[in-house]
């Protein structure tokens, strides 16, 4: 199990993750989480809104980091370059591979958590689109960049937490961003270098 930040908050988060995996998310109560963490239920509710929200505790922070990175990209950076800056910022946060793997297993185990995750992703996409629009990027260009860039975000995450991976999120994301540029380059007309035998499996 992951070693998190010390204190009641960290112990609660770790206890919850353990219980979700042992008994299932639906079968775990706040009372059980508090008990395992050695705190009262009141303490639980001082730190988290409920047992579901604690799994999405970092979402707002992550979104803000990405929005700030898009906003702070150089003025002459294109929309996908700005998203690249956001992915670099994510790389500084997605560093605890064990924790992210465990969390994803919990999410995957429960339909209501998957739904919540989808909503968070949608919000993130909207926020980044708005950040690009604020840079003066046109509506269509912003939307297209976000679809493509959020794709890099998710594929990088899946690659990062895959069994056996040891590379950093930042490295994977940067590589995939380059690959996105590669696959979106016209292959006809300018027959530079078609996407031959690249087995990224």
Interface residue list for a copy of itself (CB under 8 A)? 74, 76-81, 118, 136-141, 143-148, 150-152, 154-155, 159, 172, 175-176, 178-188, 194-195, 197-201
- What torsion do the CA atoms of 117, 118, 122, 124 make, to the nearest 10 degrees? 20
Nearer to a copy of itself, 93 or 141 (CB): 141
Compute the Cα dihedral for 1, 29, 106, 97 and give only its sign. negative
**CA–CA gap between residue 40 and residue 31 (Å, rounded):** 8
Nearer to a copy of itself, 28 or 145 (CB): 145
Taking the complex as a whole, the smallest distance from the CB of residue 181 to a copy of itself amounts, in Å, to 5
Taking the complex as a whole, the smallest distance from the CB of residue 105 to a copy of itself amounts, in Å, to 20
Taking the complex as a whole, the smallest distance from the CB of residue 110 to a copy of itself amounts, in Å, to 17
Taking the complex as a whole, the smallest distance from the CB of residue 175 to a copy of itself amounts, in Å, to 6
Closest to 82 in 3D by CA, of 135, 151, 140: 135
Nearer to a copy of itself, 54 or 152 (CB): 152
- Measured between alpha carbons, how far is residue 126 from residues 54, 98, 144, 175, 197 in Å? 22, 29, 12, 24, 35
């Amino acid at each position: 199990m992951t070693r998190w930040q010390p204190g009641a908050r960290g112990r609660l988060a770790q206890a919850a993750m353990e219980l979700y995996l042992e008994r299932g998310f639906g079968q775990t109560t706040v009372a059980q989480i508090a008990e395992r963490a050695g705190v009262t239920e009141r303490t639980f509710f001082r730190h988290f809104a409920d047992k579901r929200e604690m799994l999405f505790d970092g979402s707002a922070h992550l979104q803000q980091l990405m929005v700030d990175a898009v906003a702070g990209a150089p003025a002459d950076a294109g929309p996908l370059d700005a998203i690249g800056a956001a992915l670099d910022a994510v790389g500084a946060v997605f560093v605890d591979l064990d924790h992210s793997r465990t969390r994803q297993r919990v999410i995957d185990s429960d339909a209501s958590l998957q739904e919540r995750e989808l909503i968070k992703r949608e919000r993130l996409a909207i926020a980044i689109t708005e950040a690009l629009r604020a840079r003066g990027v046109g509506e269509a260009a912003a939307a297209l960049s976000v679809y493509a860039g959020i794709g890099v975000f998710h594929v990088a995450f899946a690659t990062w937490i895959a069994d056996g991976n040891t590379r950093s999120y930042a490295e994977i994301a940067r590589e995939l961003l380059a690959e996105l540029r590669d696959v979106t380059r016209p292959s006809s007309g300018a027959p530079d270098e078609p996407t031959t035998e690249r087995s990224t499996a």
